[in-house]
């Protein structure tokens, strides 16, 4: 008993009421770090790098090459059961239009409009211009 009283007077041995809450908090933070991360809403694939390349190095991303890459990317995205990002079908349609495939361009614009109704106004204008041989 005398030893207990002696130890309680020492600063290193006094009870610390904040230890238990701190340990609980550490446990919660550690466990929350193990929670699975959300999957992205879209599979961006080659779409963003192609856009970036087109604007930063003009002439290096020819429309024909973009059509091939975007078509393959869309097929892969659909095969994986993921969503194509907004704008990818529209961009593919524009590239189709640039190489003279007006019907394919219109089909891509219609797909973009169906997937993303907020793009209806723009896609309707692009479709109308493509049908009228105007410049989208």
Question: Where do the structural domains in the chain lie, given as residue ranges?
Answer: 47-131
What is the pLDDT, as a whole number, of residue 82? 94
What is the pLDDT, as a whole number, of residue 14? 58
What is the pLDDT, as a whole number, of residue 129? 94
Distance CA 43, CA 75 (A): 11
- Tell me the two tokens of residue 68: 């091939």
Percent of the chain having pLDDT more than 70?
71
What is the pLDDT, as a whole number, of residue 6? 56
Distance CA 74, CA 131 (A): 24
Distance CA 56, CA 48 (A): 12
What is the pLDDT, as a whole number, of residue 25? 72
What is the pLDDT, as a whole number, of residue 60? 86
Q: Tens digit of pLDDT for each residue in 72-121? A: 999 999 999 999 999 999 999 999 999 999 999 999 999 999 999 999 99
Q: Over 90: is that where the pLDDT of 135 sits?
A: no
Distance CA 89, CA 54 (A): 16
Question: Does 103 or 35 have the greater pLDDT score?
Answer: 103
State the alpha helices, DSSP H only, in the chain. Answer: 2-8, 19-32, 47-56, 63-79, 88-98, 102-115, 120-131
* Confidence class for position 38, pLDDT limits 50, 70, 90: confident
93-122 burial, b at 16+ Cβ within 10 Å, e below that, comes to bbbbbbeebeebbbbbbbbbbeebeebeee
């Amino acid at each position: 008993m005398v030893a207990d009283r002696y130890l309680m007077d020492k600063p290193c041995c006094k009870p610390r009421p904040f230890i238990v809450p701190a340990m609980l908090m550490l446990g919660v933070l550690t466990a929350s770090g193990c929670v699975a991360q959300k999957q992205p809403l879209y599979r961006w694939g080659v779409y963003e790098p192609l856009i970036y390349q087109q604007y930063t190095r003009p002439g290096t991303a020819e429309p024909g090459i973009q059509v091939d890459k975007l078509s393959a990317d869309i097929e892969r995205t659909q095969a994986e059961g993921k969503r194509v990002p907004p704008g990818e079908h529209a961009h593919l349609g524009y590239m189709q239009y640039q190489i003279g495939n007006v019907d394919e361009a219109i089909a891509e614009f219609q797909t973009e409009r169906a997937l993303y109704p907020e793009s209806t106004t723009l896609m309707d204008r692009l479709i109308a211009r493509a049908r009228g041989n105007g410049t989208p």
